[in-house]
Chains A and B, each alone.
Chain A
Amino acid sequence: MQHTLSVLVENKPGVLTRVTALFSRRGFNIDSLAVGVTEDPTLSRITMVVSAADVPLEQITKQLHKLVNVLKINDLDPAEMVDRELVLFKVNAPPDRRHEVIEVTNVFRAKIIDVGKNSLTIEATGTSEKLAAMEDLLRAYGIKEMARTGRIALARGSRES
């Protein structure tokens, strides 16, 4: 099962290495990863997507808690979180098909951020599912390059992440 872990850590050198090294050392694969500073500049939030069964996940979470620089770990409930990813697609768009690509972009409320002779670069944000659907459609035109961030997420409402 896929889990979105929100890990609050001290914003210090080497902390990300400690966290990711722990995952690989204990045989876990990280599907996606995003790190950035929080509202408090001394803290960073690492959002990680991992696929794991409940028991091994509990073990890795407990191990993670033991890292001195880790303050808080929250396994976000998919029904109770808001989450986003950002993707940049560079898509083949010769003049005769360009309007179709623009249409897809509009349907997904994405933005064209760069225009080339035969390509368009599109910025899209959304959940993994939405972005996957968009990628599927764009594939028909030929995706030349793609860059994707990891998932970021927060708990809904006044709940803390």
Chain B
Amino acid sequence: MTQRITGAEALVKALQAEGVDIMFGYPGGVVLPIYDALYDAEDIKHVLVRHEQGAIHAADGYARATGRPGVALVTSGPGATNTVTGIANAYMDSIPLVVFTGQVATSVIGTDAFQESDITGITMPITKHNYLVKDAAELPEVIKEAFHIATTGRPGPVLIDVPVDVSKGEVDFAYPETVNLPGYKPTYRGHAKQIKQASNLIAKARKPLLYVGGGVIASGAAREVKELAELMQLPVTCTLMGKGAFPEDHHLFIGMPGMHGAKYTNYSITETDLLIGVGVRFDDRVTGKLSAFASKAKVIHVDIDPAEIGKNKPVDVPIVGDARHIVAALVEELRKMDAAPRTDAWMRAIDDWRNRFPLHYSGETGTIMPQRVVQRIDAIANEMGRELIVCTEVGQNQMWAMQFHTCRSPRTWVSSGGLGTMGFGFPASIGAQAGRPDALVVDIAGDGSFQMVSQELATAKVHDLPVKVVILNNGYLGMVRQWQELFYGKRYSQSVLPQDCPDFVKLAEAYGCFGVRAEKPEDVDQALAAAFAYDGPAVVDCRVEAEECVFPMVAPGGSIDEMLGGIPGCPVSEMLDDELLEEVWE
């Protein structure tokens, strides 16, 4: 059955057909036909943000927290260009978004018309695919394809540019049931021979290590990963994007790898004889100097994107496909082989490192330590029996959140990985809260990052999204200051932000939100508890130790077993006691 309706109405109907019940956006001239059609669509909630970048980050946070694609709608020209950072961010982290931008009428495209910008050209390198729709009749098919492409294979953002005459034009609407994309056929099932080969290596390894990333979250493979880890007693490290893919209170969890990873994690990677990468991309922030990364190991790499395999690190057993299918197949194969865990001595070696080189920070003497704030957020949420979703900004705040927040399940950690976008966390928390109304959503923020997007307090307030922003207010662009302290002789060029400008409590109050300040260590619990209990958005201004650094730290380009705050120049093997060493090496 077809129905003759406008392009704008077709767009809305297509969203309904895709099961979209919430979207984020900001209107303007050329999208008014679409906004007009949305006016009657009561089953789609529209969250009006205060800046288009916020709309994309919110849609992104929604997608990360729910697993469903995030949808955004903005106008042409400046509306469209304001989405660029958000789209690049989603692209780097493989987050499924469908972004609609308005465009000037097809008759004036290419004439530098008012608010014209070539957004498909601009976003070509930062979208998985994009479309400029030239005829209303194409809309249903294009939207169907866009959702399909965004959510399948390696997910990512897809942009649809809709000229105003296309929205106003007419279309015989019928939503297609299938897509016809001859050039797009992701591989899901792993190659049987490769799976067999990988299983043999896993069964034989004495010092294996499971290295899991965002791909495990995206494919919903956390259960399978846990099964594999427990079956073979494999230690597990999760990347920043993979946080939540494995319960961090599990004895096999050995922390985050890389630049600010724990020493015991990086030592384990340096010593492993079999690195099993699942849904990871050997990012430079993880590997440090590539030649020294897991240099004693054979490498198995499971990824749905063939282009990731061998991109940075040569691989012995590549397996292209969906992480969930493949890890399940590995478990099945290992069971068939009656493979038994052989990692007892290896785990004891890692535990020995863990005991000797734990993550740590100095005790408090009158000033709040930012790391403790992170731990108290966990503890208080726990005491309140609330499910916690932690979002982060970028900088030291993000690294402390990564190090000290104990994440237990997938899709409860929302953080900008590949692009490292300051100002992501807060709008993302709004999106996460919109998708997960019952969760306690906390943005662990920096004073710098939050100021990039603080106008979205209005969005949170007006839409009744009770997110909590906990600012680790150090009065600095802290991570920049840290690099300046370590590598630029403490010359703090343009990294100082007065701790009391703005007054974050008053700022929160100006938007009708709850604001509270913690100045002394003893204020922290009360401030957090009050904010978490408050029925609405809240800001906690924690005045933390200003010149605290994130340690340990691998110097940029350095090898990951040589950490500042580690033992300089000391080979890992010298850090193990001899008896254990013999057992592991044997």
* Contact across chains for B149 and A66 when beta carbons are under 8 A apart: no
* Distance in Å: Cβ of A20 to nearest Cβ of chain B: 11
The docked-state distance in angstroms from the alpha carbon of A4 to that of B183 is 21
User: Which residues 12-57 of A sit at the B interface, judged by CB distance below 8 A?
Assistant: 13-14, 17-18, 21-22, 25, 55
> Interface readout for B160-186 with A: 1 if CB under 8 Å, 0 if not?
000000000000000000000111100
> Interface readout for B115-140 with A: 1 if CB under 8 Å, 0 if not?
00000110011001100100000000
**B52 interface residue per 8 A CB criterion:** no
Q: Out of B124, B149, B182, B306, name the residue touching A62 (CB < 8 Å).
A: B306
What A residues does B306 contact at CB under 8 A? 62, 65
Known: A14-B120, A18-B124, A25-B125. A59 touches B311 (CB 8 A): yes
**A125 interface residue per 8 A CB criterion:** no
- Most chain A beta carbons < 10 A, residue from B149, B305, B307: B307
**A70 interface residue per 8 A CB criterion:** yes
Known: A58-B310, A59-B307, A65-B307. A70 touches B183 (CB 8 A): yes
What A residues does B121 contact at CB under 8 A? 17
* Contact across chains for A63 and B307 when beta carbons are under 8 A apart: yes
The docked-state distance in angstroms from the alpha carbon of A29 to that of B189 is 35
* Contact across chains for A68 and B307 when beta carbons are under 8 A apart: no
What A residues does B182 contact at CB under 8 A? 10, 71
Q: Out of A10, A13, A17, A66, name the residue touching B124 (CB < 8 Å).
A: A17
The docked-state distance in angstroms from the alpha carbon of A59 to that of B120 is 24
The docked-state distance in angstroms from the alpha carbon of A9 to that of B120 is 19
User: Which residues 91-145 of B sit at the A interface, judged by CB distance below 8 A?
Assistant: 120-121, 124-125, 128-129, 132
Residue on B nearest A63 in the bound complex, by CB: B307
The docked-state distance in angstroms from the alpha carbon of A158 to that of B124 is 36
**A67 interface residue per 8 A CB criterion:** yes
What A residues does B181 contact at CB under 8 A? 68
Residue on A nearest B312 in the bound complex, by CB: A59
- Most chain A beta carbons < 10 A, residue from B183, B307, B311: B183
**A105 interface residue per 8 A CB criterion:** no
The docked-state distance in angstroms from the alpha carbon of A9 to that of B124 is 17
The docked-state distance in angstroms from the alpha carbon of A109 to that of B543 is 83
* Contact across chains for B125 and A68 when beta carbons are under 8 A apart: no
Known: A68-B183, A68-B184, A71-B182. A21 touches B125 (CB 8 A): yes
- Most chain A beta carbons < 10 A, residue from B149, B182, B305, B311: B182
Residue on A nearest B120 in the bound complex, by CB: A14
User: Which residues 46-100 of A sit at the B interface, judged by CB distance below 8 A?
Assistant: 55, 58-59, 62-63, 65-71
Residue on B nearest A9 in the bound complex, by CB: B183
Chain B interface residue bracket vs A = 10 to 19
What B residues does A55 contact at CB under 8 A? 310
What B residues does A67 contact at CB under 8 A? 129, 183
> Interface readout for B302-346 with A: 1 if CB under 8 Å, 0 if not?
000111001100000000000000000000000000000000000
What A residues does B125 contact at CB under 8 A? 21-22, 25
The docked-state distance in angstroms from the alpha carbon of A125 to that of B353 is 69
Chain A interface residue bracket vs B = 20 to 34
* Contact across chains for B305 and A68 when beta carbons are under 8 A apart: no
Residue on A nearest B154 in the bound complex, by CB: A66
* Contact across chains for B310 and A68 when beta carbons are under 8 A apart: no
- Most chain B beta carbons < 10 A, residue from A25, A55, A59: A59
> Interface readout for B416-453 with A: 1 if CB under 8 Å, 0 if not?
00000000000000000000000000000000000000
What B residues does A70 contact at CB under 8 A? 183
Residue on B nearest A66 in the bound complex, by CB: B307
Known: A17-B124, A25-B125. A69 touches B183 (CB 8 A): yes
* Distance in Å: Cβ of A21 to nearest Cβ of chain B: 6
What A residues does B120 contact at CB under 8 A? 14
* Distance in Å: Cβ of B472 to nearest Cβ of chain A: 36
What B residues does A10 contact at CB under 8 A? 182-183
* Distance in Å: Cβ of A142 to nearest Cβ of chain B: 42
The docked-state distance in angstroms from the alpha carbon of A14 to that of B120 is 10
The docked-state distance in angstroms from the alpha carbon of A129 to that of B132 is 42
The docked-state distance in angstroms from the alpha carbon of A122 to that of B63 is 61
What A residues does B183 contact at CB under 8 A? 9-10, 67-71
What A residues does B184 contact at CB under 8 A? 68
What A residues does B132 contact at CB under 8 A? 13-14
Residue on A nearest B129 in the bound complex, by CB: A68
Known: A21-B125, A25-B125. A66 touches B311 (CB 8 A): no
* Distance in Å: Cβ of A12 to nearest Cβ of chain B: 10
The docked-state distance in angstroms from the alpha carbon of A10 to that of B182 is 9
* Distance in Å: Cβ of A72 to nearest Cβ of chain B: 8
* Distance in Å: Cβ of A82 to nearest Cβ of chain B: 26
* Contact across chains for A21 and B305 when beta carbons are under 8 A apart: no
The docked-state distance in angstroms from the alpha carbon of A77 to that of B149 is 33
> Interface readout for A98-137 with B: 1 if CB under 8 Å, 0 if not?
0000000000000000000000000000000000000000
What A residues does B310 contact at CB under 8 A? 55, 58-59
* Distance in Å: Cβ of B119 to nearest Cβ of chain A: 13
* Contact across chains for B129 and A62 when beta carbons are under 8 A apart: no
What A residues does B305 contact at CB under 8 A? 66
- Most chain B beta carbons < 10 A, residue from A9, A10, A62, A68: A68
The docked-state distance in angstroms from the alpha carbon of A65 to that of B120 is 20
The docked-state distance in angstroms from the alpha carbon of A66 to that of B156 is 12
What A residues does B129 contact at CB under 8 A? 67-68
User: Which residues 266-321 of B sit at the A interface, judged by CB distance below 8 A?
Assistant: 305-307, 310-311
* Distance in Å: Cβ of A9 to nearest Cβ of chain B: 8
A21-B125, A66-B307, A67-B183 are known; give 11 further A-B pairs, CB within 8 A. Answer: A13-B132, A14-B132, A17-B121, A17-B124, A18-B124, A21-B124, A22-B125, A62-B306, A62-B307, A68-B128, A68-B184
Binding site for A on B (CB under 8 A): 120-121, 124-125, 128-129, 132, 149, 181-184, 305-307, 310-311
What are some 29 contacts across the A-B interface (CB < 8 A)? A10-B182, A13-B132, A14-B132, A17-B121, A17-B124, A18-B124, A21-B124, A21-B125, A22-B125, A25-B125, A55-B310, A58-B310, A59-B310, A59-B311, A62-B306, A62-B307, A65-B306, A65-B307, A66-B305, A66-B307, A67-B129, A67-B183, A68-B128, A68-B181, A68-B183, A69-B183, A70-B183, A71-B182, A71-B183
The 8 closest A-B pairs by CB, nearest first: A62-B307, A68-B129, A71-B183, A68-B184, A63-B307, A62-B306, A70-B183, A25-B125
